[in-house]
Amino acid sequence: MFQGICRNVGLKPFLSALALSALFVCTSNLLAQGSVTLAWDPSPDPNVVGYVLHYGTSSRDYTTTANVGNQTTATVRGLDWGVTYFFVVTAYDASGVESDLSNEVSYTPTNPVKLVPLVVPGATPTSGTVPLTVQFDGSRSSDPSGSMTTCQWDFGDGSSAQGSNLAHTYTSAGIYTATLTVADALGYTSSSNVIISVASNLPPAAAGTPYVTGQVLGSLRNDYSGYLGMQIVVGANPITVTALGRMMAEGNRGTHTLKLVNASNGTDVAGGSVTVGMSGGAVGRFWYGSLSSPVTLAAGTTYWVLSQETAGGDNWYGWDTKVSTTGVAADNAVAWGTGPGAWYTYKVANQAFVPVDLKYASNTAPSTTGYVTGQVLGSLRNDYSGYLGMQIVVGANPITVTALGRMMAEGNRGTHTLKLVNASNGTDVAGGSVTVGMSGGAVGRFWYGSLSSPVTLAAGATYYVLSQETAGGDNWYGWDTKVSTTRVAADNAVAWGTGPGAWYTYKVANQAFVPVDFK
């Protein structure tokens, strides 16, 4: 920025009799946009009645003019930061006769407020919560007003907020560009961007009711290698377990196997195991992993709910941790060990190592067979907003559906609503909807979400199995995708649409959009 510096760089001869002295760059004003004040010596010609300022962004090419009247200074505002402007002035007489151009001067307005590229602690958070901190280039004395008045964040996900130190929660995995714009008391602004990668290994939403309803956390430890957790005795009704969870402690970043074990013989419950990555979880909250299929814990039976820990690894909370639970089972001991013959318990009610948790759906264990048994994928598309999938006709027996699935395609990161629709009237099947986040799924495999409770499809009835898609969003496979299925229902058409009165089918057997599946 030029302050109080005037440069006389000479004059050109005039074509008319009018005379004009030199043009100077004098100073730039402290305004919200770039600005400059120019001055020139008054013309000695008594016929001069005014002056015209000419300027542009190329030398000798002046696209803007301003008649400044009979004065020898002018301030030009609204100039872009970092752009060089070129200026000349002419004089004119009462008849409008204009002199030749004066000498040319140039000026590049510079924003006095600067930001370094923003730094986000934890470059790849695996939860949605990201701390965002303002960092200035040098001291605030470089800002002529001496203080910031506004720090405006655009988080890159359609939301924004003001503040110099914020923690923003992203609701799904993906790559976001956050922009910070600061302004000072004089209106100067400066912006800086940061790329935020929210990790793609966020687990899908875990359906079901949490068993643990509250906790008072004990002492932090990480001095044992093996499994740790609690012993539960199931009540009068069986429990259908849909997910297992582990409490997040400060600094946790490891991956843990959570599992159910039969206390009677020390063996694992078939299908009752899941692996959960803890990075990015919220401290003091459970981080769940959905079982591939729900498993049933028998009424009146004793089980251990356990998390695999490593000495020197992630912190966990000691057995002095107290928990409150629902009434579907009694937590009557803490449990630990390494396997059959090396399991141990200590009888203390409503306490747990780690702690661990489970989610349960209902007291009925439905069948969990995948309907689609194979597929030949068709062309990739993402040119439609609405629901896409297939039409099925249920066979001679009703089907109990426990989960809905969507095929993972390359680059998928979005969240999709999967649902069942009654073809007879176009309405949703009650309880037959689930939201599934696709980030981290294996390409060419189905990514399932468990229904909160199983739903029954009537024998002989026709239904649509659908996935919500968005034009320009996640890729999906076209209707030329071929599927093979079990015999519980017939896939007799592809289906699409947006709702009642706007559902459409095309009769082609064993084909599907997306494709979709159910268990």
Domains in the chain with CATH codes: 23-107 (2.60.40.10), 129-198 (2.60.40.10), 209-360 (2.60.120), 372-518 (2.60.120)
Unique residue bearing structure tokens 């946009």: 33
Q: How far apart are CA 305 and CA 262, in angstroms?
A: 9
Over the range 390-423, which residues count as b (16 or more CB within 10 Å of their CB) and which as e? bbbbbeeeebebbbbbbbbbeebbbbbbbbbbbb
pLDDT over threshold 80, residue 5: no
pLDDT over threshold 50, residue 411: yes
Residue 453 is predicted with a pLDDT of 84
Residues whose CB is less than 8 angstroms from the CB of residue 139 and which lie 6 or more positions away in sequence, other chains included: none
Average pLDDT over residues 81-100: 89
Residue 10 structure tokens: 């000479």
Q: Count CB neighbours of 168 within 10 A.
A: 20
CB 359 within 8 A of CB 242: yes
pLDDT over threshold 60, residue 307: yes
Q: How far apart are CA 448 and CA 444, in angstroms?
A: 13
**Helices and strands: H and E segment counts in the chain:** 0, 40
Task: Please name the helix (run of DSSP H) or strand (run of DSSP E) that holds residue 217, with its range, or none.
Answer: none
pLDDT over threshold 60, residue 284: yes
More confident residue, 179 or 351: 351
Peptide bond into 500 cis (omega under 30): no
Q: Count CB neighbours of 236 within 10 A.
A: 9
Q: For 369-393, what is each residue's pLDDT tens digit?
A: 789 988 899 889 999 999 999 999 9
Residues whose CB is less than 8 angstroms from the CB of residue 257 and which lie 6 or more positions away in sequence, other chains included: 273, 274, 275, 307, 308
pLDDT over threshold 50, residue 201: no
Q: How far apart are CA 275 and CA 279, in angstroms?
A: 13
CB 424 within 8 A of CB 463: no
Q: How far apart are CA 372 and CA 375, in angstroms?
A: 8
Average pLDDT over residues 257-277: 94
Average pLDDT over residues 355-372: 72
pLDDT band at 23; cut points 50, 70, 90 = low
pLDDT over threshold 90, residue 352: yes
pLDDT band at 186; cut points 50, 70, 90 = low
Q: For 455-484, what is each residue's pLDDT tens digit?
A: 989 999 999 999 999 999 999 999 999 999
Residue 30 is predicted with a pLDDT of 42
Predicted TM-score (pTM) of this structure = 0.39
CB 124 within 8 A of CB 199: yes
Q: For 427-457, what is each residue's pLDDT tens digit?
A: 999 999 998 888 766 788 898 888 888 898 9
pLDDT band at 291; cut points 50, 70, 90 = confident
pLDDT band at 15; cut points 50, 70, 90 = very low
Unique residue bearing structure tokens 């896939």: 491
Of 116, 106, 96, give the one whose Cα is nearest residue 76. 106
pLDDT over threshold 70, residue 80: yes
More confident residue, 182 or 452: 452
Q: For 321-341, what is each residue's pLDDT tens digit?
A: 999 998 899 999 999 999 999
Q: Whole-number mean pLDDT of the chain?
A: 81
Q: How far apart are CA 47 and CA 17, in angstroms?
A: 9
pLDDT band at 130; cut points 50, 70, 90 = low
Q: How many CA atoms lie within 13 A of 14 on its CB side?
A: 20
- Beta bridge partners of residue 213, listed in sequence order: none
Residue 158 is predicted with a pLDDT of 80
Q: How many CA atoms lie within 13 A of 63 on its CB side?
A: 5
Of 210, 376, 355, give the one whose Cα is nearest residue 284. 355
More confident residue, 12 or 250: 250
CB 190 within 8 A of CB 111: yes
Residue 34 is predicted with a pLDDT of 73
Maximum Cα–Cα distance across the chain: 113
Q: How many CA atoms lie within 13 A of 223 on its CB side?
A: 6
Q: How far apart are CA 406 and CA 435, in angstroms?
A: 10
Q: How far apart are CA 322 and CA 353, in angstroms?
A: 9
Q: How far apart are the first and last CA of the chain?
A: 68
Q: Which of 23-32, 97-106, 307-316 has the highest mean pLDDT?
A: 307-316
Residues whose CB is less than 8 angstroms from the CB of residue 100 and which lie 6 or more positions away in sequence, other chains included: 12, 13, 14, 15, 16, 90
Among the residue ranges 225-239, 269-283, 329-343, the one predicted with the least confidence is: 269-283
Q: How far apart are CA 141 and CA 391, in angstroms?
A: 68
Q: How far apart are CA 358 and CA 364, in angstroms?
A: 16
More confident residue, 385 or 134: 385
More confident residue, 364 or 498: 498
Q: How far apart are CA 330 and CA 264, in angstroms?
A: 16
Q: How far apart are CA 195 and CA 93, in angstroms?
A: 58
CB 380 within 8 A of CB 513: no
**Percent of residues, the chain, with pLDDT higher than 90:** 46
Q: How far apart are CA 480 and CA 475, in angstroms?
A: 15
Residue 428 is predicted with a pLDDT of 94
pLDDT band at 29; cut points 50, 70, 90 = very low
Among the residue ranges 268-272, 423-427, 439-443, the one predicted with the least confidence is: 439-443
